[in-house]
Chains A and B, each alone.
Chain A
Amino acid sequence: MAKTEHTPVDPVSGMATTGHEWDGIRELNTPLPRWWLWTFYATILFSAVYWLAYPAWPHIWGFTGGVLGYSTRGQVATDLGDIKAVRASMEGALATATVAEIAQDKKLLALALAHGKASFAENCAPCHGSGGQGSKGYRNLTNDDWLWGGTLDAIETTITHGIRADYDKNTRTSMMPAFGKDGILKADEIKEVVNYLRTLSKLPPEPGVDIAAGKKIFADNCAACHGDEGRGNVELGAPNLTDGLQLYGSSLKDLTQTIAFARNSTMPAWGARLDPVTIKALTVYVHSLGGGQ
């Protein structure tokens, strides 16, 4: 530090100057306010304490953990544990009630619907759509055209055990033959039965195709599962063919492909992934989407 000299005082403001002068312009000596300075020192002290207490510095193998052992992941785990504890009583009621009981009790129903809505968005929406509206090959859950039944119990079974989930021995299963690929029907016969199916759904058939022949082929090959009138069978997951709501579409091309190669799509057995309470909540939620029986 330079030795202390007499510092001139500015006559106008009455404040001391730094003693420097440039072309007649002098600089007032305005030191940092004391409170600012002490706050600054306090923040330095604070950071030193913080480094010791909390995770702070990265190094090659990780980071300094801090003596308090705090971590954001640990905090999340604690918070989740707290929420589980808060919900325990309500979830307990869901765990002991059957889906039918839940549907009858308005309080449990509201809880299950809220739970189900969140779980549906996490687990089901990727295939069945955000509102259960489905898409080609994925069931629209808002209509009443259930393949395996639309009662609460049927829906619970389907969600728990899945469809053609080979790792679950109680899974829903049935196998439609690939009539074209396996050589059961010839191309002409497939064309005839496709056109017959179109008439069942009140859709226009191709001109010049023998519908009566198609009906005969249907009776011989399809009626065993889909019924004489094509109304389907939920025991076998055989769809109703008369309502125009086909999972893979009702166009000539779609129907031809379905009969020639079969579809036999699958759904995971969620019993292996989700807890029983979540499955109950999902059952009640899916049942509430408009098509429940």
Chain B
Amino acid sequence: MTATDIPDSVDAYAEGPLYAPAKKVYPQKVSGTFRHIKWILLVLCLGIYYLLPFARWDRGPNAPNQAVLVDLAHSRFYFFFIELWPQEVYYFTGLLILAALALFLSNALFGRVWCGYSCPQTVWTDLFLTVERFFEGDRRDRIKLDEAPWTVDKFRKRVAKHAVWLLVAWWTGGVWVLYFSDAPTLVRDLATARAPISAYVWIGILTFTTYYLAGHMREQVCLYMCPWPRIQAALTDTEALNVSYRRDRGEPRMSLKDAGRAHAAALPAGDCIDCHQCVAVCPTGVDIRKGSQLGCIQCGLCIDACDAVMARVHRPIRLIGYDTDENIKRRARGEPAIYRLVRSRTILYAGLMVVVSALMLFQLTARPHMGLSVLHVRAPMYTATKDEGVRNGYTLRLSNKWSESRKFAIEVSGLKDASIKSVEADALPDGRLAISVDPDATVEAQLYVTAPRAALEGSSQPIVVKATDLISGENVSVSDHFFGP
């Protein structure tokens, strides 16, 4: 028995074997409206990425003046006017939720605009393709060059291309580390080989990933690695604007000659002349005429390609354009197209974004500039003193989020005749104890509370420790317990 005797098993391979080596895509150069938009966004996105570390933001003498800085050594995150401490990392959760909602909203409105225009994978792949095109020529030249035997010229082209790719990748990695340290200082240290070894390691890692993902893997990242196309397919609906081939207008596709014959015979002929330009320019190598598909990142380059062809053959442009599945069906039925950008889901996503943004803004503006935590000393739980007193120890952690030194008065309430002391504190003129905290810092102090045994109400009673900022009057109270025999 051979494989051909089993029809089912052959059918299973009808669309090719389960594993097939990836076919190399040779995107052709194209110009037009969407290519233009993509150029602008590419310059904008890369410009922000490459220049942002050098942006300055004055925060006073005791804080770094880099606008965007992830200061791992001092565990602080700076973003223009925002400074986050490690305990405020939850704030990033809000940002991530906001980012997800923005993605969902953009998807409900315009499909995969994120993929097509601003995803780093798309942007850097675009940049790398431009470099490749510069050295090796357009689609046909590159296909020929790949097939050609090795010559000095081919070698020269390849070396030049990879060298520039590596340079771009290295530059990308080099900028990445600048977000984690003072950028001008680090640039000088890197140039004079005095930067920390971790900086070089990270540059190396980012150089490799950029070079490999944007230069070699390209569309395969979108096809095989990225989860978003899968999620997107489940989230989208038939009213979302997608880059679509208007098959109601294009089919039946046929060459210009055939179309002429069909017209003469009064037979139907579509506008698509089957020139394959849309496929040739596609950076992921899909055929848009097969409809929305996982491989299509909806970058709109096929629109530009098709428009150019339609203009040349004197047919209306936008045979491929931003359209909805529903409209294609409507037109096929002879109904007018309806664009419904305001739908229940777009309202929901936009509403959720407003709610989350408002919550985050409130959280950010209402958060205190100080922090206090109190931890009861466990060894010993309490100490009996020789004059019939009972003493409890507490470990205080006081945070000062101002960019200047602050003093915090410490008071304890809930315990009769209690006295407090701390070696870390100073006495204020009014008799209260005060602890100084350096700018943007946390100090730990031991607080001892002593009360006469006769004043205790039981073996455990609640007390409140209060810290008050002497300048702003802001205060934080923390409840704890006082233990006795």
- Which residues of A line the B interface, CB within 8 A? 10-14, 24, 103, 106, 109-110, 113, 129-133, 140, 142-145, 240, 243-245, 287-292
Instruction: Name A106's contact: one of B1, B10, B424 (CB within 8 Å).
Output: B424
Interface size class of B (residues with CB under 8 A): 20 to 34
A241 nearest CB across to chain B (Å)? 11
Interface of A, secondary structure class, is loop
B377 at the interface (CB under 8 A from A): yes
Cβ of B9 and Cβ of A131 under 8 Å apart?
Answer: no
Check B383–A13 contact: CB distance below 8 A: no
Contact A287-B423, Cβ < 8 Å, known A12-B17, A145-B386, A240-B386: yes
A24 to B1, CA, bound (A): 6
In chain B, positions 358-379 with a C-beta closer than 8 Å to chain A are 377-379
Complex CA–CA separation, A110 to B383 (angstroms):
24
User: Is residue B87 contacting chain A, with contact meaning CB distance below 8 A?
Assistant: no
B2-15 interface code vs A (CB 8 A; 1 in, 0 out): 11100001100100
On whether A133 and B386 interact (CB within 8 A), knowing A13-B17, A290-B393, the answer reads no
| Bound: A263/B379 CA distance, A | 25
CA separation between A230 and B344, bound complex, in Å?
87
* Residues from chain A with Cβ under 8 Å of B386 in the complex: 143-145, 240, 243, 245
* Pairwise interchain contact A129-B379, C-beta atoms closer than 8 A: yes
Interface pair A288/B423, CB less than 8 Å apart = yes
A65 to B36, CA, bound (A): 64
Structural contact, B379 and A131, CB atoms closer than 8 A: yes
**Chain B min CB distance to A227 (Å):** 14
Determine the residue in chain A with the shortest Cβ distance to B388. A243
Contact with A along B432-476 (1 / 0, CB 8 A): 000010000001001010000000000000000000000000000
How many pairs of A and B residues are in contact by the CB < 8 Å rule?
68
Cβ contact within 8 Å between B380 and A142: yes
- Given A11-B3, A131-B378, 7 more pairs with CB closer than 8 A: A12-B10, A12-B13, A109-B423, A110-B424, A131-B393, A143-B391, A243-B386
Chain A residues near B377: list those with CB within 8 A.
131
Partner of B383, one of A11, A12, A113, A142: A142
A103 — which chain B residues lie within 8 A by C-beta? 423
- The residue on A at minimum CB distance from B446 is A288
Q: A287 to chain B: which residues have CB within 8 Å?
A: 423
Residues of A within 8 A of B448 (CB): 290
B160 within 8 A of A: no
Known: A12-B10, A145-B386, A245-B386. A290 touches B4 (CB 8 A): no
A13 to B380 Cα, complex, angstroms: 76
Most chain A CB inside 10 Å of its own CB: which residue of B386, B387, B391: B386
* Closest A residue, CB atoms, query B426: A106
Contacts of B436 in A (CB 8 A): 106
Could you tell me the distance between the alpha carbons of A288 and B444 in the complex, rounded to whole angstroms?
A: 13
* Chain B residues within 8 Å of A10, by CB: 3
Q: Does B385 have its Cβ within 8 Å of any Cβ on chain A?
A: yes
Asked whether any CB of chain A lies closer than 8 Å to the CB of B384, the reply is yes
Give Cα distance in the complex from A103 to B391, angstroms.
21
Bound-state CA distance A14–B9 (Å) is 15
Least distance between B69 CB and chain A CB atoms (Å): 25
Cα-based distance from A103 to B422 in the complex (angstroms): 12
Tell which of B10, B391, B423 touches A142, judged by Cβ atoms closer than 8 Å: B391
Instruction: Give the CA-CA distance A109 to B445 in the complex, in Å.
Output: 11
Chain B residues with CB below 8 A from A106, complex form: 424, 436
Please state if B385 and A109 are interface contacts (CB–CB under 8 Å): no
Q: B447 CB to closest chain A CB, in angstroms?
A: 10
Inside 8 A of B9's CB, which chain A residues have their CB? Answer: 12
Supposing A12-B3, A131-B377 touch, asked if A291 and B383 sit within 8 A by C-beta, the answer is yes
Residue in chain A with minimal CB distance to B386? A243
Inter-chain contact B423/A144, CB cutoff 8 Å = no
Tell me, in angstroms, the Cα distance from A132 to B448 when the chains sit together: 14
Q: Are B393 and A142 in contact (CB under 8 A)?
A: yes
Residues 225 to 268 of chain B near chain A (Cβ within 8 Å): none
The answer for the CA separation of A14 and B19 in the assembled complex, in Å, is 11
Bound-state CA distance A132–B446 (Å) is 14
Q: How far is the CB of B415 from chain A (nearest CB, A)?
A: 16
Chain B positions 407 through 445: 1 when the CB is less than 8 Å from some CB of chain A, otherwise 0: 000000000000000011000000000001000000100
Contacts A12-B13, A143-B385, A144-B385: A130 and B424 contacting too (C-beta < 8 A)? no
8 contacts between A and B (CB under 8 A): A11-B3, A24-B1, A106-B436, A110-B424, A113-B423, A113-B424, A143-B391, A243-B386
> Which chain A residues border B3 with CB–CB below 8 Å?
10-12
